[in-house]
Amino acid sequence: MILENQKHLFSFPEEITYLNIASQSPSFKAVEQAGIEGVLEKSNPHKITGHHYFEPVKEVKQLFAKLIDVEDYNRIANIPSASYGLATAANNITLKKGDEILLVEEQFPSNYYVWEKLANKFDATIKIASMPTSKENRGENWNEEILNSISDKTTVVTLGNIHWANGTLFDLKAIRKKTTAHNALLIIDGSQSVGALPFSVKEIQPDALICAGYKWLFGPYGCGYAYFGSYFDNGNPLEENWSNRLDSENMSGLTSYQPKHKPLANRYSAGEHASFIYMKMQIAALKQVLDWTPNAIQNYCKEITSEAVITLKENGCFIEDDNFRAHHLFGVELPENLNVEKLKSKLKKATIFISFRGNYIRLSCHLYNTKDDFKKLTDCISSCL
Protein backbone atom coordinates (compact mmCIF):
# COMPACT_ATOMS: atom_id res chain seq x y z
CA MET A 1 0.00 0.00 0.00
CA ILE A 2 1.25 3.49 -0.88
CA LEU A 3 -0.21 6.23 1.28
CA GLU A 4 -0.71 9.87 0.40
CA ASN A 5 -0.65 12.73 2.88
CA GLN A 6 -3.46 12.43 5.43
CA LYS A 7 -3.45 15.91 6.94
CA HIS A 8 -7.09 16.37 5.94
CA LEU A 9 -8.02 13.87 8.67
CA PHE A 10 -6.52 16.14 11.36
CA SER A 11 -7.38 19.57 12.72
CA PHE A 12 -3.92 21.14 12.53
CA PRO A 13 -3.65 24.86 11.74
CA GLU A 14 -1.87 25.22 8.40
CA GLU A 15 1.02 27.22 9.89
CA ILE A 16 1.96 24.51 12.41
CA THR A 17 4.78 22.08 11.61
CA TYR A 18 4.52 19.32 14.17
CA LEU A 19 7.49 16.93 14.28
CA ASN A 20 6.99 15.73 17.84
CA ILE A 21 4.43 12.91 17.83
CA ALA A 22 6.92 10.86 19.89
CA SER A 23 5.95 13.13 22.80
CA GLN A 24 2.20 13.33 22.19
CA SER A 25 0.10 12.46 19.19
CA PRO A 26 -2.60 14.74 17.83
CA SER A 27 -6.11 13.35 17.61
CA PHE A 28 -7.51 12.97 14.15
CA LYS A 29 -11.07 14.10 13.57
CA ALA A 30 -12.62 10.64 14.01
CA VAL A 31 -10.99 10.32 17.46
CA GLU A 32 -12.22 13.81 18.40
CA GLN A 33 -15.75 12.86 17.42
CA ALA A 34 -15.57 9.56 19.30
CA GLY A 35 -14.47 11.42 22.43
CA ILE A 36 -17.35 13.87 22.13
CA GLU A 37 -19.79 10.99 21.75
CA GLY A 38 -18.33 9.44 24.90
CA VAL A 39 -18.73 12.68 26.85
CA LEU A 40 -22.35 13.00 25.72
CA GLU A 41 -22.99 9.38 26.70
CA LYS A 42 -21.72 10.12 30.20
CA SER A 43 -24.24 12.98 30.33
CA ASN A 44 -26.97 10.36 29.91
CA PRO A 45 -25.94 7.59 32.34
CA HIS A 46 -29.36 5.92 32.09
CA LYS A 47 -28.27 4.80 28.62
CA ILE A 48 -25.14 3.06 29.95
CA THR A 49 -25.92 -0.63 30.40
CA GLY A 50 -23.96 -3.74 31.34
CA HIS A 51 -22.58 -4.45 27.89
CA HIS A 52 -20.85 -1.05 27.84
CA TYR A 53 -18.41 -2.40 30.42
CA PHE A 54 -17.39 -5.38 28.31
CA GLU A 55 -18.10 -5.26 24.56
CA PRO A 56 -16.01 -2.15 23.71
CA VAL A 57 -13.15 -3.58 25.80
CA LYS A 58 -13.32 -6.80 23.82
CA GLU A 59 -13.24 -4.86 20.54
CA VAL A 60 -10.21 -2.82 21.60
CA LYS A 61 -8.33 -5.97 22.57
CA GLN A 62 -9.19 -7.61 19.26
CA LEU A 63 -7.99 -4.57 17.31
CA PHE A 64 -4.70 -4.33 19.19
CA ALA A 65 -4.18 -8.10 18.92
CA LYS A 66 -4.58 -7.82 15.15
CA LEU A 67 -2.11 -4.94 15.02
CA ILE A 68 0.64 -6.93 16.77
CA ASP A 69 -0.21 -10.30 15.18
CA VAL A 70 -1.70 -12.13 18.18
CA GLU A 71 -4.41 -14.75 17.63
CA ASP A 72 -5.99 -14.73 21.12
CA TYR A 73 -7.15 -11.29 22.27
CA ASN A 74 -7.32 -12.64 25.82
CA ARG A 75 -3.55 -12.17 25.89
CA ILE A 76 -4.10 -8.38 25.81
CA ALA A 77 -4.55 -6.30 28.96
CA ASN A 78 -5.89 -2.75 29.10
CA ILE A 79 -3.49 -0.57 31.07
CA PRO A 80 -3.39 3.17 31.88
CA SER A 81 0.33 3.60 31.14
CA ALA A 82 3.49 1.81 30.07
CA SER A 83 4.79 2.05 33.64
CA TYR A 84 1.71 0.12 34.85
CA GLY A 85 2.38 -2.67 32.36
CA LEU A 86 6.08 -2.84 33.21
CA ALA A 87 5.29 -2.89 36.92
CA THR A 88 2.84 -5.75 36.31
CA ALA A 89 5.58 -7.74 34.59
CA ALA A 90 8.14 -7.00 37.30
CA ASN A 91 5.61 -7.93 39.99
CA ASN A 92 5.60 -11.48 38.63
CA ILE A 93 9.34 -12.04 38.29
CA THR A 94 11.45 -13.63 41.02
CA LEU A 95 15.23 -13.28 40.89
CA LYS A 96 18.20 -14.77 42.71
CA LYS A 97 21.14 -12.88 44.17
CA GLY A 98 23.58 -12.07 41.39
CA ASP A 99 21.05 -12.35 38.56
CA GLU A 100 21.33 -9.67 35.91
CA ILE A 101 18.69 -7.46 34.30
CA LEU A 102 19.97 -6.10 30.99
CA LEU A 103 18.98 -2.60 29.84
CA VAL A 104 20.31 -0.34 27.12
CA GLU A 105 21.99 2.96 27.89
CA GLU A 106 19.71 5.96 28.50
CA GLN A 107 16.56 3.88 28.59
CA PHE A 108 13.33 5.80 29.20
CA PRO A 109 12.88 6.34 32.99
CA SER A 110 9.68 4.24 33.25
CA ASN A 111 11.65 1.30 31.86
CA TYR A 112 14.52 1.85 34.29
CA TYR A 113 13.13 2.59 37.75
CA VAL A 114 10.91 -0.49 37.80
CA TRP A 115 13.87 -2.79 37.12
CA GLU A 116 16.12 -0.97 39.56
CA LYS A 117 13.47 -1.60 42.22
CA LEU A 118 13.24 -5.29 41.29
CA ALA A 119 17.03 -5.68 41.34
CA ASN A 120 17.25 -4.05 44.78
CA LYS A 121 14.50 -6.32 46.11
CA PHE A 122 16.39 -9.51 45.21
CA ASP A 123 19.96 -8.21 45.45
CA ALA A 124 20.31 -8.62 41.68
CA THR A 125 22.27 -6.44 39.26
CA ILE A 126 21.33 -3.92 36.60
CA LYS A 127 23.63 -4.31 33.59
CA ILE A 128 23.75 -1.63 30.90
CA ALA A 129 24.56 -2.25 27.24
CA SER A 130 26.26 1.06 26.46
CA MET A 131 25.90 2.98 23.23
CA PRO A 132 29.26 2.89 21.38
CA THR A 133 31.19 6.15 21.55
CA SER A 134 32.33 5.81 17.93
CA LYS A 135 29.76 6.94 15.38
CA GLU A 136 31.04 4.56 12.72
CA ASN A 137 28.63 1.61 12.45
CA ARG A 138 27.16 2.68 15.78
CA GLY A 139 23.81 0.93 15.41
CA GLU A 140 25.39 -2.32 14.31
CA ASN A 141 27.96 -2.22 17.11
CA TRP A 142 25.34 -1.35 19.71
CA ASN A 143 23.32 -4.41 18.74
CA GLU A 144 26.46 -6.51 19.00
CA GLU A 145 27.11 -5.08 22.48
CA ILE A 146 23.60 -6.08 23.57
CA LEU A 147 24.03 -9.65 22.31
CA ASN A 148 27.45 -9.97 23.95
CA SER A 149 25.98 -8.76 27.25
CA ILE A 150 23.50 -11.66 27.49
CA SER A 151 24.86 -14.58 29.51
CA ASP A 152 23.77 -17.34 31.89
CA LYS A 153 23.47 -14.65 34.57
CA THR A 154 20.89 -12.76 32.50
CA THR A 155 17.33 -13.22 33.77
CA VAL A 156 15.56 -10.33 32.04
CA VAL A 157 16.33 -8.30 28.93
CA THR A 158 14.14 -5.24 28.60
CA LEU A 159 14.33 -2.62 25.85
CA GLY A 160 12.36 -0.96 23.08
CA ASN A 161 12.12 -2.06 19.48
CA ILE A 162 13.89 1.26 18.87
CA HIS A 163 15.68 3.62 21.22
CA TRP A 164 13.12 6.18 22.37
CA ALA A 165 15.42 9.21 21.90
CA ASN A 166 17.48 8.47 18.78
CA GLY A 167 15.50 5.83 16.89
CA THR A 168 18.26 3.19 16.79
CA LEU A 169 16.77 -0.14 15.72
CA PHE A 170 17.44 -3.13 17.94
CA ASP A 171 17.58 -6.58 16.35
CA LEU A 172 14.80 -8.24 18.35
CA LYS A 173 15.02 -11.51 16.42
CA ALA A 174 18.66 -11.99 17.34
CA ILE A 175 18.06 -10.80 20.92
CA ARG A 176 15.13 -13.22 21.32
CA LYS A 177 17.28 -16.09 20.04
CA LYS A 178 20.02 -15.27 22.56
CA THR A 179 17.61 -14.82 25.50
CA THR A 180 15.97 -18.14 24.69
CA ALA A 181 19.35 -19.85 24.69
CA HIS A 182 20.02 -18.46 28.18
CA ASN A 183 16.47 -18.89 29.56
CA ALA A 184 16.03 -15.14 29.98
CA LEU A 185 12.80 -13.20 29.65
CA LEU A 186 12.39 -10.59 26.90
CA ILE A 187 10.22 -7.61 27.87
CA ILE A 188 9.69 -5.08 25.06
CA ASP A 189 8.56 -1.48 25.41
CA GLY A 190 6.76 -0.78 22.14
CA SER A 191 5.60 2.72 23.05
CA GLN A 192 7.74 4.42 20.38
CA SER A 193 7.33 1.84 17.63
CA VAL A 194 4.10 -0.16 17.66
CA GLY A 195 1.65 1.48 15.26
CA ALA A 196 4.31 3.07 13.06
CA LEU A 197 6.74 0.17 12.65
CA PRO A 198 5.60 -3.37 11.78
CA PHE A 199 5.73 -5.73 14.76
CA SER A 200 4.72 -9.38 15.03
CA VAL A 201 4.43 -11.23 18.32
CA LYS A 202 4.40 -14.49 16.35
CA GLU A 203 7.73 -13.57 14.81
CA ILE A 204 9.54 -12.13 17.85
CA GLN A 205 7.76 -14.13 20.60
CA PRO A 206 8.41 -11.70 23.47
CA ASP A 207 7.37 -12.66 26.98
CA ALA A 208 5.65 -9.28 27.27
CA LEU A 209 5.05 -6.25 25.05
CA ILE A 210 4.07 -3.00 26.75
CA CYS A 211 2.76 0.04 24.86
CA ALA A 212 1.65 3.50 25.84
CA GLY A 213 -1.40 4.35 23.75
CA TYR A 214 -1.15 8.11 23.33
CA LYS A 215 1.69 8.29 20.84
CA TRP A 216 1.74 6.23 17.64
CA LEU A 217 -1.58 4.55 18.54
CA PHE A 218 -3.41 7.92 18.72
CA GLY A 219 -5.33 7.13 21.90
CA PRO A 220 -6.02 9.59 24.73
CA TYR A 221 -3.37 10.28 27.37
CA GLY A 222 -3.99 7.66 30.04
CA CYS A 223 -4.47 4.53 27.94
CA GLY A 224 -2.18 1.72 26.92
CA TYR A 225 -1.93 -1.94 25.98
CA ALA A 226 0.03 -4.95 27.16
CA TYR A 227 0.56 -8.38 25.67
CA PHE A 228 1.56 -11.10 28.13
CA GLY A 229 2.94 -14.46 27.02
CA SER A 230 2.60 -17.83 28.71
CA TYR A 231 5.15 -17.04 31.44
CA PHE A 232 2.59 -14.65 32.96
CA ASP A 233 -0.52 -16.82 32.55
CA ASN A 234 -1.12 -17.43 36.26
CA GLY A 235 0.50 -14.35 37.76
CA ASN A 236 -0.65 -11.81 40.31
CA PRO A 237 -2.24 -8.56 39.10
CA LEU A 238 -1.40 -5.23 40.73
CA GLU A 239 -5.05 -4.81 41.75
CA GLU A 240 -8.22 -6.85 42.02
CA ASN A 241 -10.60 -5.29 39.53
CA TRP A 242 -14.09 -6.79 39.70
CA SER A 243 -14.54 -7.02 35.93
CA ASN A 244 -11.45 -9.20 35.53
CA ARG A 245 -13.14 -12.12 37.31
CA LEU A 246 -15.04 -14.91 35.63
CA ASP A 247 -18.76 -14.28 35.07
CA SER A 248 -18.44 -10.57 35.96
CA GLU A 249 -20.87 -9.87 33.10
CA ASN A 250 -23.59 -11.17 35.44
CA MET A 251 -23.83 -7.90 37.33
CA SER A 252 -26.75 -9.06 39.47
CA GLY A 253 -24.53 -11.78 40.92
CA LEU A 254 -21.37 -9.82 41.69
CA THR A 255 -21.41 -10.70 45.38
CA SER A 256 -21.26 -14.39 44.55
CA TYR A 257 -17.54 -13.92 44.78
CA GLN A 258 -15.59 -15.65 42.05
CA PRO A 259 -12.16 -17.08 42.96
CA LYS A 260 -11.02 -17.35 39.33
CA HIS A 261 -9.87 -14.66 36.96
CA LYS A 262 -10.82 -14.49 33.32
CA PRO A 263 -8.26 -16.34 31.20
CA LEU A 264 -4.71 -15.28 30.41
CA ALA A 265 -3.89 -11.53 30.47
CA ASN A 266 -7.39 -10.34 31.40
CA ARG A 267 -6.39 -10.45 35.07
CA TYR A 268 -3.87 -7.65 34.50
CA SER A 269 -6.25 -4.98 33.16
CA ALA A 270 -6.43 -1.88 35.33
CA GLY A 271 -9.53 -0.84 37.21
CA GLU A 272 -12.06 1.21 35.22
CA HIS A 273 -10.37 0.26 31.96
CA ALA A 274 -13.79 0.29 30.31
CA SER A 275 -13.80 4.11 30.40
CA PHE A 276 -16.72 4.93 28.12
CA ILE A 277 -14.94 7.98 26.70
CA TYR A 278 -11.51 6.39 26.23
CA MET A 279 -12.82 3.18 24.72
CA LYS A 280 -14.62 4.99 21.92
CA MET A 281 -11.51 7.04 21.14
CA GLN A 282 -9.23 3.98 21.24
CA ILE A 283 -11.49 2.01 18.89
CA ALA A 284 -11.55 4.86 16.35
CA ALA A 285 -7.79 5.28 16.62
CA LEU A 286 -6.86 1.61 16.25
CA LYS A 287 -9.21 1.11 13.30
CA GLN A 288 -7.51 3.95 11.45
CA VAL A 289 -3.97 2.73 12.24
CA LEU A 290 -4.91 -0.74 11.02
CA ASP A 291 -6.38 0.76 7.86
CA TRP A 292 -3.19 2.73 7.18
CA THR A 293 -0.91 -0.21 8.22
CA PRO A 294 2.40 0.35 10.05
CA ASN A 295 4.39 -0.74 7.01
CA ALA A 296 2.81 1.93 4.80
CA ILE A 297 3.31 4.55 7.55
CA GLN A 298 6.99 3.64 7.82
CA ASN A 299 7.45 3.86 4.04
CA TYR A 300 5.70 7.25 3.92
CA CYS A 301 7.94 8.61 6.68
CA LYS A 302 11.03 7.35 4.85
CA GLU A 303 9.91 9.09 1.67
CA ILE A 304 9.26 12.51 3.24
CA THR A 305 12.46 12.53 5.32
CA SER A 306 15.01 11.21 2.82
CA GLU A 307 15.99 14.58 1.29
CA ALA A 308 16.17 16.28 4.69
CA VAL A 309 18.47 13.55 6.02
CA ILE A 310 20.88 14.15 3.12
CA THR A 311 20.81 17.92 3.74
CA LEU A 312 21.36 17.55 7.48
CA LYS A 313 24.34 15.26 6.96
CA GLU A 314 25.81 17.72 4.42
CA ASN A 315 25.49 20.40 7.11
CA GLY A 316 27.59 18.36 9.54
CA CYS A 317 24.82 16.63 11.50
CA PHE A 318 25.13 13.01 12.55
CA ILE A 319 22.22 10.64 11.85
CA GLU A 320 22.35 6.88 12.33
CA ASP A 321 22.74 4.74 9.21
CA ASP A 322 19.40 3.99 7.52
CA ASN A 323 19.73 0.25 8.10
CA PHE A 324 19.93 0.69 11.87
CA ARG A 325 17.29 3.32 12.60
CA ALA A 326 13.59 3.94 12.23
CA HIS A 327 12.18 6.50 9.79
CA HIS A 328 9.23 7.70 11.88
CA LEU A 329 11.54 8.72 14.75
CA PHE A 330 15.25 9.48 14.63
CA GLY A 331 17.85 11.57 16.39
CA VAL A 332 20.02 14.26 14.83
CA GLU A 333 23.25 15.26 16.54
CA LEU A 334 23.81 18.94 15.77
CA PRO A 335 27.21 20.33 14.77
CA GLU A 336 29.26 21.81 17.60
CA ASN A 337 29.35 25.21 15.89
CA LEU A 338 25.55 25.49 15.90
CA ASN A 339 24.00 27.85 18.43
CA VAL A 340 21.22 25.76 20.01
CA GLU A 341 19.49 28.72 21.65
CA LYS A 342 19.41 30.58 18.33
CA LEU A 343 17.91 27.49 16.70
CA LYS A 344 15.22 27.24 19.37
CA SER A 345 14.30 30.86 18.74
CA LYS A 346 14.09 30.38 14.97
CA LEU A 347 11.98 27.23 15.34
CA LYS A 348 9.59 29.06 17.64
CA LYS A 349 9.15 31.87 15.10
CA ALA A 350 8.59 29.32 12.34
CA THR A 351 6.11 27.38 14.55
CA ILE A 352 8.10 24.15 14.19
CA PHE A 353 7.76 21.73 17.10
CA ILE A 354 10.50 19.18 17.85
CA SER A 355 12.19 17.67 20.93
CA PHE A 356 15.62 18.67 22.18
CA ARG A 357 17.88 16.23 24.00
CA GLY A 358 21.06 18.16 24.83
CA ASN A 359 22.92 18.64 21.54
CA TYR A 360 20.51 16.21 19.87
CA ILE A 361 17.15 16.91 18.35
CA ARG A 362 14.58 14.13 18.04
CA LEU A 363 12.41 14.27 14.95
CA SER A 364 9.19 12.28 14.80
CA CYS A 365 6.71 12.49 11.96
CA HIS A 366 3.56 10.93 10.58
CA LEU A 367 1.11 11.03 7.71
CA TYR A 368 0.13 14.65 8.34
CA ASN A 369 3.72 15.77 7.58
CA THR A 370 5.26 16.54 4.20
CA LYS A 371 8.66 17.08 2.61
CA ASP A 372 7.97 20.82 2.92
CA ASP A 373 7.81 20.46 6.71
CA PHE A 374 11.32 19.04 6.71
CA LYS A 375 12.51 21.70 4.25
CA LYS A 376 11.35 24.36 6.74
CA LEU A 377 13.29 22.58 9.46
CA THR A 378 16.53 22.18 7.48
CA ASP A 379 16.36 25.83 6.41
CA CYS A 380 16.19 26.87 10.08
CA ILE A 381 19.15 24.66 10.97
CA SER A 382 21.21 25.85 8.00
CA SER A 383 20.61 29.47 8.95
CA CYS A 384 22.10 28.84 12.41
CA LEU A 385 25.41 27.51 11.11
Going from N- to C-terminal start, the domains of the chain cover: 7-27+294-383, 45-292
Burial level of 59, CB count in 10 A (0-12/13-18/19+)? middle
Res. 186: pLDDT tops 90: yes
- Measured distance CA(7)–CA(22) in Å, rounded: 17
329-352 mean pLDDT: 94
From its phi and psi, is residue 18 left (phi > 0), alpha (psi between -120 and 50) or beta? Answer: beta
What sign for the dihedral angle of Cα 285, 286, 291, 296? positive
| Number of CB atoms found within 10 A of residue 260's CB | 9
Q: Which residues pair with 128 in a beta bridge?
A: 103
pTM (2 d.p.): 0.96
What does residue 261 show for φ and ψ, rounded to 5 degrees?
-85, 160
Q: Could you read off the pLDDT of 38-85 as tens digits, one per residue?
A: 999 989 888 888 788 899 999 999 999 999 999 999 999 999 999 999
Q: Can you give the pLDDT at residue 14?
A: 87
The total number of residues written for the chain in this structure? 385
Task: Indicate the pLDDT class of residue 12, thresholds 50, 70 and 90.
Answer: confident
CATH architecture, domain 45-292:
3-Layer(aba) Sandwich (3.40)
DSSP 343: H
Q: Contacts by 8-16 with C-beta closer than 8 Å and gap 24+?
A: 9/288, 9/368, 10/368, 12/368, 15/351, 16/351, 16/353
361-383 mean pLDDT: 97
Q: Can you give the pLDDT at residue 16?
A: 95
Q: Can you give the pLDDT at residue 317?
A: 96
* Whole-angstrom Cα Rg for the chain: 22
The identity of residue 43, as a single letter, is S
Res. 358: pLDDT tops 80: no
**Domain covering 7-27+294-383, topology:** Aspartate Aminotransferase, domain 1 (3.90.1150)
Q: Which segments of the chain are extended strands (E)?
A: 17-18, 76-79, 100-104, 125-129, 154-160, 185-189, 208-212, 224-228, 329-333, 352-353, 355-357, 360-364
Q: Can you give the pLDDT at residue 359?
A: 78
